Structure formats: structure tokens, C-alpha cells
Amino acid sequence: MLVVAVLGAGPAVAQAPRVPASQAEVKLSFAPIVARTAPAVVNVYALKTAQQRVNPIFDDPFFRRFFGGPGGSPGLGAPDRMQRSLGSGVIVDPSGIVVTNYHVIEGADEIRVALNDKREYEAQVLLRDQRTDLAILRLKLETKETFASLELGNSDELAVGDLVLAIGDPFGVGQTVTQGIVSAVARTQVGVSDYQFFIQTDAAINPGNSGGALVDMAGRLVGINTAIYSRSGGSIGIGFAIPVNMVRVVLDQAKSGGKAVRRPWLGAKLQRVTPDIADSLGLPRPAGALVREVTAGSPAASAGLKVGDLILAVEGQGIEDPESLNYRLATRPIGSRAALGLNRGGRNESVVVVLESAPETPPREAVQLRARSPFGGATIVNLSPAVAEELRVDGAASGVVIAEIADGTPAAQAGFKPGDVIVEVNGEKIARTRELDTLTQAPMRAWRIVVIRGGRAISALLPG
């Protein structure tokens, strides 16, 4: 699986799709669409300083100080080098707001954007969202300028067989346009981001296209190309794009000054419907999201959802699996209502869910652990429904959860990962971050630790 993407720009008038009626129509060109959209396609250069390690001995500050390297004088240590990653992006606002992929700018110390006409600008990150693999940038301008931008379409209007264009910079060769059709409109088993609901296209996209866009025949942005399926690293005609309706959610929150994306929280655990489950429920085929658990006090509980309910639609739009349901809810505004069509005990019913963001109860109370212990370098937060949603952990668990881990720290070397829920240390239950912070202040010869990872409890004995 490789990550990629492409795009174009410009307003246009929607036209009803139809099959060419004559040989003359078959010879028609995409050039007018490209002329309108290409100026809004940009290259995104993400620069990151990386230290070259010649010998692990230079990890020791003592040796760095006397023999050179980072933190010491020039000498035998390895010099820093600049890593550069190349992706694509789309200007979606005339003021210079750009959409690209999160993975294109991840870890960047500096971001530069090159326009279609070779002008270059430094860019700042307005909002980055790893869960959707999207990032919103703003060009840094000394004077007010107006840029060509791409109109956002409606990805729900796409149909399999619709013609689309992909515009980007594959392999860094320069801006390139490819054409294809929509192969599927709701791929949910791609494994690229948390919100598995992708447009599939056979338009050729390759490494370097990431963060660009998919354009319809009206010249509107319908998707941000993000990944390809490939055995060789190049295009074999299976590409995936984030639907523009999801892009719009992240973009709107960035424009409103949000630093993190707030999403509706259902408060229910869902299960995919297998053929065996479909047979047991008397369904004609496997489809829908089966409610396996309902959190007390959640929107799902308030709406009257019950364990065993099979959700089949959101506002009349069919649901194939839990990923489809998550996407449909995530693209609706917080505070709105959503009618869920469901099958309950063989009867078709409907409930209305008020879409709310997950509560931060208890408060995060983030702490970076600095004392000498296996947790050193980890940032921990109290587990709440909001944190559980953000870090993709079981909200029913109790304890504190690791939110971040600094590279090269004891926590990283011990094998901890973001999302690990710490429930017990040396026989003591951990309920709040301050409890673990206090516990790690005292030196220990050994640490007996119980964590929950991926729903499984793991016990470990680590040296002090």
C-alpha cells in the first residue's frame, strides 16, 4: 500500500452525465477543464531536519560534548541533513488556503508550496488531522493576494462510471494530468485512515500525487487522492481518494480557528454483519452496523438504541458496515440531528440521534513524565470518551492513557505506544495522571506494569 494523490481547480457549471452521441463528441478534449483547474494545483515540499547517526556512541551526551555531533562541537559526530518529502495540494480558497495530506507534512520543520506558475511561498499549518489524513495550510503572504482556487463539489453525487481527472506531480516530474472513471464510491477496507470511506478511481496516480485532488467534469474538487494499491510502487489503476464531503468538515473547522477536529460521538460499539449473522437475522444479504454495546449517557443511549439493533441507514442513505456509519455521522455537523433507520427484532424502526462531541470527563490533565522510570518521555492524559475517540482506545477502560512518546526516551525504548492504557503499576491501580506522576518520582529496582493495548491486558516486568 502506497500513499498518493492529485488535483485541479476552478468554478464551473454542473452538467448532467451522458454517453457521447457521435464520433465528434468522442473527440472532445478535457483541455478546457484542465485550463480552469490546473492553476489551483500546487506542489507541497515538507522539509525536516534529520540527524545522521554514524555510531550509537554519539547518543551519549558526554561523547557528543567532547567529540562533536549534535549538542557538542563540530568534529566526529554526524552532521544534520535535510530530508525533503514531495506531495501535491489544492488551493481551496482565493486567500491562499491549501488542502493536502497529513502524511505529506508530518514532522515537517518547514513547509513550502510551489504554484503552477513557479512562484513559491512558505506555508503554515492551520489544522492537521491524522485520523482523516488531511492537513490545512495557509500561504504566508507579505501582501494580500488572490489565488486561483478550486470549487468544492458534492462527493455523494458521484456514481460509478463517472469521468474524473487527476492532477498532481507524480515522481516529481512536473504537473501531470491523468483521466479515468470512478470505480467505486464507498471503499471501506483500505486501511489508510480511521475513516474508511474512499472513492476508488482508475485514473493513474503515483508517489508525489499525495494531497492532490480528483476533479469531476464540471471542474469541481470531488476528492483528495491519498493512496494506491500497488505491488511495484507505481500505478496499476487502483487509487483511493478522500471524499470532498469529509474534506469540507476539516476545512470548515480550520477556517473557524479550530486546532483539532470535533466530531459527532455516537457512544456505541458496532459490529460488521457477516453472512452468518445475516442468516440468523433473516436478512437478504450482509449489510448494516450491528449495535454490540451502548455507553450509558451517550447520544446513542438517549436516542433509545439497544444492543442487537441493526442500523441500516442514516437520513435515508444506506449503511453497508460500521465504517459507512462512522463516515455518514462524521460528515454531519455537531448539534444537528440524524435519523437512523434500523432493524429491531425483525421490524423496521427509526430513532433520532442528537449529534454531540464526546465529553472530556474527566479533564485530560496532561503530564509529561520526566522522572527516571520506564515511562520517562511519555505524555499521559486521563481517559475520557473524547480521549478514547481521539486515540482509538476502548472508552470502557479505566486508567490513564499514553498520548505521545518522545523519540529515544525510556518510554520509547521500553516499547510503549500512544494509546496504551496504564491500569496498574507495582500493584497500585492508576486512575489519574497525577497518581502515575507521583509514583514515578520514587526510584524502583523493577516495575510491574499492566497495560491495555488493542483491548488486551498485557503484564510486564521492566528494570528500574
The three grid cell numbers given for residue 297, joined into one nine-digit string? 449517557
3-state secondary structure of 148: coil
Question: In the 3-class helix/strand/coil scheme, how is 386-439 assigned residue by residue?
Answer: HHHHHHCCCCCCCCEEEEEECCCCHHHHHCCCCCCEEEEECCEECCCHHHHHHH
| HSE of 71, CA atoms in CB hemisphere, 13 A | 9
The three grid cell numbers given for residue 275, joined into one nine-digit string? 453472512
Rounded Cα distance between 379 and 365, Å, is 10
Residues near 51 by beta carbon (within 8 Å), at least 6 away in sequence = 69, 70, 78, 80, 81
What is each CA distance from 204 to 116, 271, 414, in whole angstroms?
A: 20, 34, 42
Q: 177: burial class by Cβ within 10 Å (0-12, 13-18, 19+)?
A: buried
> What is the residue-wise DSSP string for 197-248?
-EEEE-S---TT-TT-EEE-TTS-EEEEEEEE--SSSS--S-EEEEEHHHHH
- In the block, residue with C-alpha cell 488493542: 454
Rounded Cα distance between 266 and 410, Å, is 37
3-state secondary structure of 28: coil
Active site residues: 103, 133, 210
The beta strands (E) that lie in 59-109 are given as 80-93, 97-100
Enter the DSSP assignment of 52.
Answer: P
Rounded Cα distance between 8 and 149, Å, is 9
Phi, psi for 28 (deg, rounded to 5): -65, 155
Rounded Cα distance between 236 and 204, Å, is 7
- In the block, residue with C-alpha cell 556512541: 57
Kindly tell me the number of DSSP H helices and DSSP E strands found in the chain.
Answer: 11, 28
